Amino acid sequence: MKLSIVDYKSGNISSVINSFKEVANDKVNIEVTSDIKKISSCDKVVLPGQGSFKSCIEALNNISGLVDELNEFAINKKKPLLGICVGLQMFADVGYEETETKGLGWISGKVSKIDNQNGKYKLPHIGWNEINIVKDSKIFKSIENNSHMYFVHSYEFIPADNKVISATTDYSTKVVCSVEKENIFGTQFHPEKSDKTGLKLVNNFINL
Q: Which of residues 128-187 bind other proteins (CB under 8 A)?
A: 128-130, 148, 150-154, 170-171
Active site residue 190: yes
Q: Where are the alpha helices (DSSP H) in the chain?
A: 14-23, 36-41, 53-62, 66-71, 86-89, 195-206
Selected from 40, 108, 112, 116, the binder of other proteins by CB under 8 A is 116
In the complex, least distance from residue 116 CB atom to other proteins, rounded to whole angstroms: 7
Residue 198 binds other proteins (CB under 8 A): yes
Residue ranges with strand state E in 92-140: 94-95, 101-102, 109-113, 125-130, 132-133
At residue 145, what is the residue type? N
Do the Cβ atoms of 149 and 120 come closer than 8 Å? no
Helix axis angle, 195-206 to 14-23, nearest 10°: 70
Q: Count interface residues toward other proteins (CB under 8 A).
A: 37
Binding pattern for the stretch 18-57 against other proteins, x by CB under 8 A and - elsewhere: xx-xx---------------------------xxx-----
- Select which of 42, 56, 69, 85 is catalytic: 85
Residues contributing to the site for other proteins (CB under 8 A): 11-12, 14-15, 18-19, 21-22, 50-52, 116, 119, 122-130, 148, 150-154, 170-171, 192-196, 198-199
Catalytic residue numbers? Answer: 85, 190, 192
